[in-house]
Structure 1
């Protein structure tokens, strides 16, 4: 896809959906889950049986003569190792819990990816607004410079006023270059998240408004406990550690191997003619001897340490979620108040003050520097307003990830 001019308005949620289907990290997580799920299918299976073929008590002087000695026999046997009761179940439980933990991590990765796409979209919104405001203010500065030049031409102004305005205009041109570079950086990040060519153009983001959902801290905490995939993944890891503990303790008990052998004997040649050789069989049970107690105790301690590690990690995530919810709610309250204050008071008042200052300057009742300062002040308030609005929505996106879904 070739480079194009900035396209029409983007649908941010459609971009999120594209990222969830295209991003290779999600595909990697899904492939890992599929791998662990297949591994779990085989975890509790018995070992393959052993087949034995042999010759017993053959004569060294005539190794392939099976009709000379009554003890010579051809043997076929089969054996099967059977683990101690409960070992197969513990192995299966550990493997399935590990697979479940990986499956929940797919959903966690999707949450994080959706948050990153939304935050990038909101940053693009803020920088696009800054670019638009900068271009508008450059035009307004040109008008002020023209007004200062007119007053200077009739002897009512000074060259210093014109030069001050031109310096401010040059600063704003530099600011515009930085803003456009920031736009390119955010566009590159968004294209990376969507796994599409870097030359793909990103359109403008939807207009943001102040949305104030009803957010109760306790309800959000309960939602996080029930929906957050990371918590479910850690819970599955804890189940895996408990299954490994059971398996380590069961390893102190022996496994049994059942063997069956069938021994076939040929007819024997003797002076009185052929004598029928009686076939024979053998049935045996054998046990491994778990005498390496130190090794097995170390395995029990390892499993216990794993369980303690996951338990502490789960507690840490709980604390991080609760702290994150409190912080995001405080940020939302602050940003909401600021957005309303800027929208309803600061910006309208600054616009009125600027209009009055321009009128006063035109009739020689105000210095040009005051007009310039008020123009730049209004410009700063407008940029701050859109940045705070974007920050508000980024805090909402972060809160959505914290609780594991829609608010």
Structure 2
């Protein structure tokens, strides 16, 4: 028996080894494949515990809806009727011919309007849970995008500073050569070295920012963040600005308000249904002493909502006021969303204009100024103009990197307003 198992293991070992090698190769390929923004959002959405919690809330609401509007459970009754407590036959179960043991069942029958209102309320709660999931999905999309953008911006900032390292090394070499040749000063050599050290210090700080941003993206992906792919075109939105400003009701933040308004209407319908009478049916069997006939009792009951002024009407007025409050709050949220979208569009367009000015004017001017100052130093001029130009160049590049990040975040705030397929419950 052992030999047969060993033979089976030997026969299966090559296949298992091949499968393991394939899995390891696939994992290595996935780790090496640059991560795009869309793929990061897709993976982050698929792995977000918040969306799993929202889906569980929807399942719970649907389960509750399955029992909404059904008849309540019947009640079983048991007791003794016409039991004497005075006279010669007091406390005797067989002393009086009317005494009997009873066993019965009672069924409450709520009005049809009440059951339909209960079903409508359950459906509204499902809609509210689905709208909340849509809002949660939109928030997850935006937060994953912001995490990806933070890592991308940190990498761009490092690249912009790394491009200046070679010229810093060249400046140090030139100042030392002039010092050895007797035409330079020790102060210039020390200033060039200090500038190079300051640049290294800036790069080290950016490396820390990049490590923190990588941890932020890993929080959504679950795995260490791989190399990032090229960024999408942040100068173009997936939905036009005009459509975003005009169609605010389809945006995720307002879908939750629509569901709240439907829920308030369902509560009002249930309050109105309370004015309809409810019914009940009961039947019982009475067993009397031996030799005496048993009896059956059948009863039908109906509630009488006669005094509705201080009861049902008060509840209806309260639910009506609550529905009106939700409607007014919905309108205020609609106006606030229009304002937020308009501000976000202005922010996105403003950062885009600044980036264009950096690319077309400021950064090229910085490069020409630094090159001219270094060329003048080579020709015998002072080092201070180059130091001033280099500091301005570093500050402008850092500001440009921050503008890149702000522009991308403004883009993300607008790009994920409309619900996507991943948002659907």
Report TM bin, short chain.
Answer: 0.7 to 0.9
**In the alignment, is residue 338 of structure 1 matched against residue 354 of structure 2?**
yes
1:111 to 102, 125, 138: 138
SS of 1:317's partner is helix
2:109 to 82, 87, 91: 82
**In the alignment, is residue 224 of structure 1 matched against residue 248 of structure 2?**
yes
2:383 to 346, 352, 368: 368
Change (3 A) 1:122 1:234: same
SS of 1:80's partner is strand
Distance apart, 1:223 and its partner CA:
3.8
Q: In 2, distance between residues paired with 1:116 and 1:381?
A: 28
SS of 1:261's partner is strand
Do the aligned partners of 1:209 and 1:389 also contact (CA within 8 Å) in 2? no
Unaligned runs of 5+ in 1: 1-5, 269-275
Correspondence for 1:271: none
Do the aligned partners of 1:115 and 1:397 also contact (CA within 8 Å) in 2? yes
Most deviating of 208-217 and 309-318: 208-217
Correspondence for 1:356: 372
Matches within 5 A, 1:131-142: 131-142=158-169
Most deviating of 351-360 and 143-152: 351-360
Tell me the TM-score normalised to structure 1 length.
0.84
Correspondence for 2:406: 391
Distance apart, 1:346 and its partner CA:
2.6
1:188-226 CA distance string (max 9 Å, x none):
2212223x26xx244234245453358654422344323
**In the alignment, is residue 39 of structure 1 matched against residue 64 of structure 2?**
yes
Correspondence for 1:48: 73
Unaligned runs of 5+ in 2: 1-30
Correspondence for 2:49: 24
Q: In 2, distance between residues paired with 1:212 and 1:223?
A: 18
Do the aligned partners of 1:336 and 1:392 also contact (CA within 8 Å) in 2? yes
SS of 1:51's partner is strand
Q: How many residues align?
A: 389
1:361-397 CA distance string (max 9 Å, x none):
1111x32111122233333333433432332222121
2:268 to 245, 262, 276: 245
Do the aligned partners of 1:43 and 1:91 also contact (CA within 8 Å) in 2? yes
Distance apart, 1:145 and its partner CA:
1.3
Matches within 5 A, 1:283-294: 283-287=299-303, 294=310
1:193 to 208, 220, 233: 220
Change (3 A) 1:301 1:174: farther
Q: In 2, distance between residues paired with 1:286 and 1:76?
A: 22
**In the alignment, is residue 174 of structure 1 matched against residue 201 of structure 2?**
yes
Q: In 1, distance between residues paired with 2:289 and 2:215?
A: 82
Do the aligned partners of 2:277 and 2:302 also contact (CA within 8 Å) in 1? no
Distance apart, 1:7 and its partner CA:
5.8
**In the alignment, is residue 150 of structure 1 matched against residue 177 of structure 2?**
yes
Change (3 A) 1:230 1:44: farther
Do the aligned partners of 1:221 and 1:322 also contact (CA within 8 Å) in 2? yes
Correspondence for 1:236: 259
Distance apart, 1:166 and its partner CA:
2.7
Tell me the TM-score normalised to structure 2 length.
0.80
Q: In 2, distance between residues paired with 1:382 and 1:349?
A: 12
Change (3 A) 1:300 1:367: farther
Distance apart, 1:230 and its partner CA:
3.2
Change (3 A) 1:107 1:393: same
Change (3 A) 1:298 1:370: farther
Q: In 2, distance between residues paired with 1:327 and 1:215?
A: 16
Change (3 A) 1:201 1:287: closer
Correspondence for 2:8: none
Correspondence for 1:259: 282
